Amino acid sequence: MNEFTRSESGLHVPTKKVTRRSLLAAMGGAATVPMLYGCGVGTGGGGGDAGKAPENGASAVTGSFDWKALKGQSIKILQTPHPYQQAFQPLLKDFTELTGIEVQADLVAEADYFTKLNTELAGKTGAHDVFMTGAYFIWQYGPPGWMEDLTPWIKNSSATNDEYDFEDIYEGLRTSTRWDFEKGSALGTGGQWAIPWGFETNVVAYNKKEFDARGIALPETFDDFIQLATDLTDRSQNRYGVAFRGSKSWATIHPGFMTQFTREGGKDYTAEGTTYTAAMNSDKAVEFTKKWVDLAKNAGPTSWTTYDYPQCTGDLGNGNAMMVYDADSATYPKQKAGASAQAGNLAWYPGPAGPDGSYATNLWTWSLAMNAASKKKQAAWLFMQWATGKDAMNKATASTFADPVRASVFDGSFKQTLGGFPGYLETFEKVIDSTKIQFTPQTKFFETTEDWAVALQDIYSGADAKSRLDELAKANTTKINA
Amino acid sequence: MRPYLLSVPAVLLIIGILYAFFYGVYYTVLNYAATNPTPTFIGVDNYRSVLGDTLFWRSAGTTLLYAVAATGLETVLGVAIALLLNRSTLIGKTFERLLILPLMIAPVIAGVIWKLMFNPQFGVLNHVLGLGSTFDWLSKDRALASTILVDVWIYTPFVAILVLAGIRSLPKEPFEASDVDGANWFYMFRRLMLPMMWPYILVAVIFRFMDCLKVFDAVYVLTAGGPGVTTTTLQIGAFEDSITNLNYSRGSTYMFLLWIIVFITARYLVSVLGKAQRRAAGAGA
């Protein structure tokens, strides 16, 4: 039996002393076991198969197509609360009725969604079989083998219903979700890593009631747009000209900024073979960036550096912002009766054209992707083809599902809903042919594009535009080619 | 059953903690990233890269400034509030209960609430203070101070409650004797209460300083480290490398360097606490 005594501190400790040296030796020994085990670098829980993508499961599906083939199974999907998700939530029971497959939809707020998704996919647990993603994320999640190539699934008639009609999805959207991950390759090459589900063009929504009351004409050039936004700003009335994103995030660059940047002749990178050179410091880019930042200062939200799209659309809906330069489907819900103070007063137009008349527009597409680590790939694919199919999408457009990705649905049921949305359809039709991803695809997209947003914030805070963009371009050229 | 078997759960827990820690340290000598899922050993290249990055040093400076300012303000305000609450009036007791409310709110939720209050367009602060719609609490010049203000709002009650518990555990005799001798309140506070309270104050300082060196949640929600890199702390830098950029090895290096800073600081502060405890024991004897 060990002897115990009372220490000066009042604690009972054994009299037999454990020396610091022996304790450290024991702890070191204990720690060495996992370290030695870890020498195989079990990256992300994947064990020894690090970096190896799991086998594509499509070839295992044979026989005739049957919606009920996997009756009784269940799948889990990861989503972020969004009008698209909300439109589909009540329809999930239709899928269960059609297939006999239960769906559990887990929701994570958009601010944390990709953090959750990053860590889950890196862990390769396959906890969720299907997840919502954007096209840019394919550039990051594809190379490590976290996403299933869907081309074999689409082509396998045993796995895919004859009526699916993949080609009905707008071509620009299909190509934006394909890439071969090679530097210098354009989008539209390589695997189909996700199926577009809903999408958005970045245009201008404005307070039509105010514009009509004052007899304001819509500005056609960027300089006129700046002038109008400035004229509409009256800080004493808590009213300002135009809301657009400014937070420290890649998401600040892709909507209004990238759209107008491209219309004004800017490019993010120039490619020579497999070498990219950052071009966000070209003369045109510097001139545009100065104007954009001045627009934010003179006619934007006061707290611009914290603004994401919910704040922008919130200010439009409240009547504080007279215009918003952002996704059409983000401003669309504010026009729904009862959804905002300005519901019924809003309208849309494409925004200013470039000096050469360009309506080049950057797009975002929420898509559905299959987790490469999923253990229920066939059931996951049945869900994906149902969710991106004509029937479900037609039903979803009856609520808040804006900009369906299928031409047949857009031209059919969706158009019927647009009577109370002045200019929405005309705007869409004006820009759709020049709407695509305007960024150069590259695997360091999020890092380098967030750095771009940081540079905008620095310029907003007083840094010289030319030298700050030179610094950014130099750093990004190094990063992207590393 | 042999008594040492009782320690098995604790040993397993420690191994669990150390496993993750050493695994993280192991990553620092690899080039493991999502874009490079088959990593190789690269020695000290990550350390060279992080320590040679001006953003790291700027983040370290911001973190230190944040920690010193927030801890200092929270300590001064916390002690002052504890002294006020020590009076057993009804109002004091009511405030004592209300004071704990900020501590019951998760920092990330507090960040969201404050972000709404800071908004110049519709936030309550500018409205109540009559600052109009152009005063931006989160502009480059004010963002760090505003994030510190939020930290002070959340954690001053923690310091106050800890110090209040300390005050109430002090022996009454020295104060009664001083009172009989005609000492005034300030003299008693300076010569008796403060020396005996030091250990409690230092415990609060250590907790808060360590926490501030690791600050992430509220700052990330409020500013994401911006405008520019004005409020980028070491934790935010590590988060961006590990989670946003999926460069796990560089992020681990960031975190390990932060661990070294926190470890050294903690060792120093604990030694100061030990000395204070010995002095207080003398003062109280």
Distance from CA of A154 to the nearest CA of B (A): 27
Closest Cα to residue B107, out of B264, B14, B222?
A: B222
Q: Regarding beta strands A240-243 and A4-6, do their DSSP bridges make them parallel or antiparallel, or are they unpaired?
A: unpaired
pLDDT at A198 over 80: yes
Number of domains chain A is built from: 2
Q: Mean pLDDT across chain A, nearest whole number? A: 88
Which A-chain residues 271-330 have CB contacts (< 8 A) with chain B? 301-303, 305-306, 311, 315, 318, 320
**Do residues A342 and A381 share a domain?**
no
End-of-domain residue from the set A413, A434, A455: A434
- The first and second tokens of residue A167, run together, are 């080609």
Q: Which neighbouring-strand residues pair with A203?
A: A326
- Domain annotation covers residue A265: yes
B22: enclosing H helix or E strand? helix B8-27
**Do residues A263 and A282 share a domain?**
yes
Q: CA B263, CA B15: separation in Å to the nearest integer?
A: 19
Q: pLDDT > 90: what percent of chain A? A: 78
Distance from CA of A51 to the nearest CA of B (A): 5
**Do residues A329 and A377 share a domain?**
no
For residue A12, how many C-alpha atoms fall within 13 Å in the half-sphere facing its CB?
A: 3
CB contact under 8 A, B39 and A43: yes
pLDDT at B245 over 50: yes
pLDDT at A274 over 50: yes
pLDDT value of residue A255: 97
Query: How do residues A68-125 score in pLDDT, each as one tens digit?
Result: 999 999 999 999 998 889 999 999 999 999 999 999 999 998 878 988 998 899 888 9
Residue B153, Cβ neighbours under 10 Å: how many? Answer: 16
Distance from CA of A25 to the nearest CA of B (A): 13
- Domain annotation covers residue A129: yes
**Do residues A358 and A399 share a domain?**
no
Q: Which domain holds residue A140?
A: 69-200+364-434
Interface test with A, best of B121, B134, B142 (most A CBs within 10 A): B121
Please list every residue in chain B whose beta carbon sits closer than 8 Å to the beta carbon of residue A240. Answer: 121
What lies within 8 Å, CB to CB, of A36 at 6+ separation is none
Q: CA A460, CA A450: separation in Å to the nearest integer?
A: 15
Residue A204, Cβ neighbours under 10 Å: how many? Answer: 26
- Domain annotation covers residue A458: yes
- Domain annotation covers residue A221: yes
pLDDT at A37 over 60: no
Q: Which of A1, A115, A235 sits opposite B133 (nearest CB)?
A: A235
pLDDT value of residue A1: 35
Interface test with A, best of B113, B246, B277 (most A CBs within 10 A): B246
Judge whether A343 and A208 are in contact, CB under 8 Å: no
Query: How do residues B54-101 score in pLDDT, each as one tens digit?
Result: 999 999 999 999 999 999 999 999 999 998 888 767 777 777 788 888
CB contact under 8 A, A30 and B18: yes
Query: How do residues B108-145 score in pLDDT, each as one tens digit?
Result: 999 999 999 999 888 899 999 999 888 999 999 999 99
Distance from CA of A165 to the nearest CA of B (A): 34
Q: CA A88, CA A110: separation in Å to the nearest integer?
A: 17
**Do residues A162 and A254 share a domain?**
no
Query: How do residues B173-230 score in pLDDT, each as one tens digit?
Result: 888 898 898 888 888 888 888 888 988 999 999 999 999 999 999 999 999 998 999 9
**Do residues A215 and A146 share a domain?**
no
Closest Cα to residue A111, out of A91, A87, A131, A81?
A: A81
Closest Cα to residue A57, out of A126, A1, A136, A103?
A: A126
Cα-based angle A34, A37, A39 (whole degrees, multiple of 5): 115
- Domain annotation covers residue A269: yes
The CATH number for A454's domain is 3.40.190.10
CB contact under 8 A, B226 and A454: yes
Q: Which of A115, A302, A315 sits opposite B243 (nearest CB)?
A: A115
pLDDT value of residue B191: 87
**Do residues A448 and A329 share a domain?**
yes
Please list every residue in chain A whose beta carbon sits closer than 8 Å to the beta carbon of residue B11. Answer: 30
Q: Chain B residue with minimal CA distance to A321?
A: B121
Judge whether A132 and A89 are in contact, CB under 8 Å: no
Axis crossing angle, helix A445-460 with helix A283-299, rounded to the nearest 10: 60
Does the beta carbon of A331 lie under 8 angstroms from any beta carbon of chain B? no
**Do residues A335 and A406 share a domain?**
no
Does the beta carbon of A127 lie under 8 angstroms from any beta carbon of chain B? no
Residue B21, Cβ neighbours under 10 Å: how many? Answer: 14
- Domain annotation covers residue A463: yes
pLDDT, mean of residues A21-36: 39
**Do residues A355 and A234 share a domain?**
yes
Q: Which of B11, B39, B119 sits opposite A303 (nearest CB)?
A: B119
Distance from CA of A213 to the nearest CA of B (A): 23
- Domain annotation covers residue A22: no
- Domain annotation covers residue A55: no
pLDDT value of residue A131: 98
**Do residues A195 and A211 share a domain?**
no
**Do residues A345 and A221 share a domain?**
yes
**Do residues A332 and A470 share a domain?**
yes
Please list every residue in chain A whose beta carbon sits closer than 8 Å to the beta carbon of residue B223. Answer: 248, 305-306
